[in-house]
Structure 1
Amino acid sequence: MLLFTIAFLIFLFILYKLLLIVPMREVNVIERLGKFRTVLQPGFHFLIPFFDRVAYRHDTREEVLDVPPQSCISKDNTQLEVDGLVYLKVMDGRLASYGIENYRKAAVNLAQTTMRSEIGKLSLSQTFSERDSLNESIVREIDKASDPWGIKVLRYEIKNITPSRHVIHTLEKQMEAERSKRAEITLANAEKAAMINMSEGERQEAINLSEGEKRKRINEAQGTAQEIAIIARAKAEGMLLVSGALSKEGGHAAMNMQLKEQFIKQVGGILENSDVSVVPAEMAKLEGFFEGMEQVTSAVKAPQGGRA
């Protein structure tokens, strides 16, 4: 019974060494008598007991490695403390096993040295504003150096960029000065806009006043023109009436009588308002003037008596 048990255990041990199941997330590197034989993919495989052995197991999933913080010097001689994350994946199990002793440690150290080198090419402000381009540069350099290791660096992400206390204090002063500058610029722009609005208002007021004055003058001119037209029409109608009256019998005599009356009124007014005596130059003609007046009066009365 003891021999049977021993034989069964030996059979199970040989069967364990003969059969190999590789999980989906791994690849296994097989050595035969200490020499590389093959890389087994996920699935069921047979091995030769005591000759074949699984030398290395590699996870084929994407791995995330933490890059410890380290001190860096920027292009403008500013001391920074930078840390990050590197994402990589095993692409070739043989190279990952025999190309380097520990690809994870090598990838982290390579990321640190590359990060120091790339930050040394940038100024302090560029390290904050150009983080994406910095990550791409680090990935490109790491991937180029890690190609013989059978791994693929997918991306690199900087977590924190921490300047020294002195640099932080200087940046705070700079930001305060920048905020003051922006406030002054904002106030200046506000004053400028207020002055522009006031000038626009004054300009519009002047335009409105000039438009009103213009309209007033136009209305006055139109009123004057209408007044002149009305007076002209009235004079024209009066002239027509006078010409009509003159064309009738006795019209000329009536006109002469009217003119003489107006002349007498004008002369009388001049004599009343003047401080000196006004006497006609030719006294002989004054008698003829009054005789003519009597003849006109008798001529006017004669038609009236005949009509009666």
Structure 2
Amino acid sequence: MIADINTDLIVLGIWGLIFAIFIIKLFQSIRLVPTKSAYIVERLGKYHTTLDAGFHALVPFIDKVAYVHDLKEETIDVPPQECFSSDEVNVEVDGVIYISVMDPVKASYGVTDYRYAAIQLAQTTTRSVIGTLDLDRTFEERDVISAKVVEVLDQAGATWGIRVHRYEIKNIAPPETVKNAMEMQVNAERERRALLAKSEGDKQSKINRSEGVKAEMINRSEGEMQKRINEAEGKAEEILTIAKATAESIERMAQVVSAPGGKNVVRMQLGAQYLKQFDGLTNSANKIVLPGNMMDFDHWMDSIGLEESKD
């Protein structure tokens, strides 16, 4: 009787286990797919359908979700790798890829692991592109390297069901000896540019000073020239004015002399001036020699035609 009870318990346990497995599979057959995700469903080991975002019910024990893909754009780090430039310099390059799954079916069955495949292809393409460039150009041609990697990955991505949006190089690290040489070269170039800028500044400063001195000398010479011109014009104007005044005086003197009694007036004025000359000589310490006959003045007046009027 105890054996029968044990047998019944074993059978009941087996049926309970089967029921539990069925319940678990039933719950597993119900799938809620998030937004921007895709589930690949296989039926009896063969691709059946792709589940988009939403509620889905599968057939227990027959259908299963074989692959789950995130359709959002994702970043994949490309590990550092050694590359040789065209001038035989070893550099270490790493980067990052931005990709997204466009066709979940091809991403599942077109390649074993599209992430690993994209990384390997990016590394090999980077090595081949850097091998065509000199070391100096590898730092300048990052865009060229990135564009070439994106182009190659896009061609392969059509088969893998992915799209490569961009590829960015994070670091290009040359050996320490090359880095030190490049730093020395950069410092030398900076010093050369500093010396060149200083010499250009000194040259321009000397040019500016010489132009200033030149302008100052020109201004002074022009000022001196204008001064002399003004002085000459002033003297000419003065001479002209004196000449005009003298001419007018002579003309008036002639009119006075020709007038009745004019000669007597002239004689009187000349005599007054003649006598006035002796006024300042009386106090002089010098000796004064006077004519013996003061009446010779009348004879001098007669000699110049200013004889006394008969009137």
- Residue in structure 2 matched with residue 219 of structure 1 by the alignment: 230
2:100 maps to which of 81, 89, 96: 89
Kindly state the Cα deviation for residue 19 of structure 1 after the two structures are TM-superposed. 2.3
Show structure 1 runs of 5+ residues with no match: 260-289, 304-308
1:148 maps to which of 143, 146, 159: 159
User: What residue identity is the alignment partner of 1:300?
Assistant: E
- 3-state DSSP class of the match of 2:308? helix
User: What residue identity is the alignment partner of 2:150?
Assistant: V
Q: Assess if the C-alpha contact under 8 Å between 2:261 and 2:309 holds in 1.
A: no
What is the CA–CA distance in structure 2 between the aligned matches of 1:88 and 1:301, rounded to whole Å?
138
- Residue in structure 1 matched with residue 216 of structure 2 by the alignment: 205
- Residue in structure 2 matched with residue 164 of structure 1 by the alignment: 175
What is the CA–CA distance in structure 2 between the aligned matches of 1:7 and 1:50, rounded to whole Å?
13
1:113 matches 2:121 = no
What is the CA–CA distance in structure 2 between the aligned matches of 1:254 and 1:20, rounded to whole Å?
150
Kindly state the Cα deviation for residue 178 of structure 1 after the two structures are TM-superposed. 0.8
Percent identity over the alignment?
46
Q: Deviations over 1:194-224 (max 9, x none)?
A: 2102211211121121122112112211211
Kindly state the Cα deviation for residue 161 of structure 1 after the two structures are TM-superposed. 0.5
1:53 maps to which of 52, 64, 76: 64
What is the CA–CA distance in structure 2 between the aligned matches of 1:83 and 1:37, rounded to whole Å?
39
What is the CA–CA distance in structure 2 between the aligned matches of 1:18 and 1:183, rounded to whole Å?
75
Q: Assess if the C-alpha contact under 8 Å between 2:263 and 2:309 holds in 1.
A: no
Q: Deviations over 1:257-290 (max 9, x none)?
A: 999xxxxxxxxxxxxxxxxxxxxxxxxxxxxxx8
TM-score of the aligned structures, taking structure 2 as reference length:
0.77
Kindly state the Cα deviation for residue 69 of structure 1 after the two structures are TM-superposed. 0.8
What is the CA–CA distance in structure 1 between the aligned matches of 2:265 and 2:30, rounded to whole Å?
158
What is the CA–CA distance in structure 2 between the aligned matches of 1:181 and 1:153, rounded to whole Å?
44
1:247 matches 2:258 = yes
1:44 maps to which of 27, 32, 55: 55
1:300 matches 2:276 = no
Q: Assess if the C-alpha contact under 8 Å between 1:75 and 1:121 holds in 2.
A: yes
RMSD: 2.9
What is the CA–CA distance in structure 1 between the aligned matches of 2:16 and 2:267, rounded to whole Å?
175
Q: Assess if the C-alpha contact under 8 Å between 2:37 and 2:69 holds in 1.
A: yes
- Residue in structure 1 matched with residue 141 of structure 2 by the alignment: 130
TM-score of the aligned structures, taking structure 1 as reference length:
0.78
* 1:6–1:255 CA distance, 2 compared to 1 (3 A): closer
The aligned runs of 1:224-239 (5 Å cut-off) are: 224-239=235-250
1:194 matches 2:186 = no
What is the CA–CA distance in structure 1 between the aligned matches of 2:146 and 2:54, rounded to whole Å?
37
Q: Assess if the C-alpha contact under 8 Å between 1:28 and 1:56 holds in 2.
A: yes
What is the CA–CA distance in structure 1 between the aligned matches of 2:189 and 2:71, rounded to whole Å?
50
Task: Choose between structure 1 and 2: higher helix proportion.
Answer: 1
Q: Assess if the C-alpha contact under 8 Å between 2:264 and 2:309 holds in 1.
A: no
Kindly state the Cα deviation for residue 151 of structure 1 after the two structures are TM-superposed. 0.9
- 3-state DSSP class of the match of 1:122? coil
User: What residue identity is the alignment partner of 1:126?
Assistant: R
- Residue in structure 2 matched with residue 178 of structure 1 by the alignment: 189
What is the CA–CA distance in structure 2 between the aligned matches of 1:163 and 1:221, rounded to whole Å?
82
Q: Assess if the C-alpha contact under 8 Å between 1:17 and 1:48 holds in 2.
A: no
- 3-state DSSP class of the match of 1:239? helix
- 3-state DSSP class of the match of 1:169? helix
Q: Deviations over 1:56-76 (max 9, x none)?
A: 111222222111111111122
Q: Deviations over 1:142-184 (max 9, x none)?
A: 1212220011111111111000122112212211221221122
What is the CA–CA distance in structure 1 between the aligned matches of 2:93 and 2:21, rounded to whole Å?
56
Kindly state the Cα deviation for residue 250 of structure 1 after the two structures are TM-superposed. 5.0
Kindly state the Cα deviation for residue 47 of structure 1 after the two structures are TM-superposed. 1.7
1:79 matches 2:87 = no
User: What residue identity is the alignment partner of 2:211?
Assistant: E
- 3-state DSSP class of the match of 1:300? coil
What is the CA–CA distance in structure 1 between the aligned matches of 2:112 and 2:76, rounded to whole Å?
17
Kindly state the Cα deviation for residue 11 of structure 1 after the two structures are TM-superposed. 5.0
What is the CA–CA distance in structure 2 between the aligned matches of 1:98 and 1:8, rounded to whole Å?
34
User: What residue identity is the alignment partner of 1:97?
Assistant: S
Q: Assess if the C-alpha contact under 8 Å between 1:245 and 1:251 holds in 2.
A: yes
- Residue in structure 2 matched with residue 21 of structure 1 by the alignment: 32
